[in-house]
Every structure is written in C-alpha cells, then in structure tokens.
Amino acid sequence: ISVSRLRAVELTEKLLANREVKLAGLAARDSLRLEAGLCLYGNDIDETTTPVEATLVWTIGKRRRQLKDFPGAEIIVPQIKAKTSRKRVGLVSTGPPVRQHTPILSPDGKVIGEVTSGCPSPCLKKNVAMGYVDSAFAKNGTDIQVEVRKKAVPAVVSRMPFVPTNYYMG
C-alpha cells in the first residue's frame, strides 16, 4: 500500500477500525518471509549469487534455458548441468536463534557455509534459518551444526518453505 504522507494517519485509522487488523513491524515481515523460504536481496542473494546456487532456477523459463538467451546464461546453464559448489538451504534448530553471518559447521566442526537469514518461527515454535553450504551437505535431513556464541548447536538441513504457502510459482 502506498499513500501520501498527508493521508497516512487517516488510512491507518480506517484500517485499525477493523478489530481483526493489527499493526506489525519489520520483524513480523521478516519471520513471514523466512517461513515462506523467500530471499531478501542483500542478505540471501546479491549480484554474485546465481539462481542455481540460490535454488531459484524455476525463475528462468524453460524456453529461455533452452535458448540460452538471458543475462548470465554462459555461467548459469553449465551450473544447471554440472551443479555448483554451494547451495542455499533451509535450517531448523531447537537451540538459540541463528542470525546472519553465523558459521555453519559440518558434524566434525569444519566450516561448510554461512547463515544469511535467521529468526524464531512463530508457526513452528522452532528457530529457522537459511544460508549457503557446500553442496555435499545440502540434502534435506542432513545433520549439521551452527555456531552460536562460540558453541556448536545441532541443526538439520530442511526443505523450504518451512511453512506451506498458497501462491503460484509457475
């Protein structure tokens, strides 16, 4: 919703007249985004991330992939066939919340990636995160660890979205 600042109070009052409507802040938006497995530009994806690494190949139409007529095709098409060294995954932890830049560790404690977004999930009553790991650790159900306050905390690579969505993805 976009509205002139001169009418913002009026709009807010009209919306709040409905008892079902509540104000929500940025943290609510972020938890909803993360539960849905959606990326935040600058955190989860940026100009150095390919759709293959980010598990977003579905955003490139089949015809475009066949014709190889899109920006970055010379890098992306071979990645689709040969895979990548890293992959975006979902993580679920029952330990403390995991935040951006948290190291992701293999079961034997080696750094295998980094968290890009994380927060408590109000729907799941667990802590969820997404980040990039070495492709060898990207399979759903893989036990890994995350480093929280210098301690290794158990986590599991999990399918995203964490909470079922109802939108159409083509």
pLDDT of residue 49: 96
- Tell me the per-residue pLDDT of 65-93, one tens digit each, with 9 for 90 and over: 999 999 999 999 999 999 899 999 999 99
Read off the pLDDT band of 165 (50, 70, 90): confident
HEC readout, the chain: CCCCHHHHHHHHHHHHCCCCCCCCCHHHHHHHHHHCCCCCECCCECCCCCCCCCCCHHHCCHHHHHHCCCCCHHHHHHHHHHCCCEEEEEEEECCCCCCCCCEEECCCCCEEEEEEEEEEECCCCEEEEEEEEEHHHCCCCCEEEEEECCEEEEEEEECCCCCCCCCCCC
What does pTM read for this prediction? 0.86
Name all domains of the chain by residue range, CATH numbers in brackets: 57-158 (2.40.30.110)
pLDDT of residue 169: 65
pLDDT of residue 167: 74
Task: Over range 109-138, report the average pLDDT.
Answer: 97
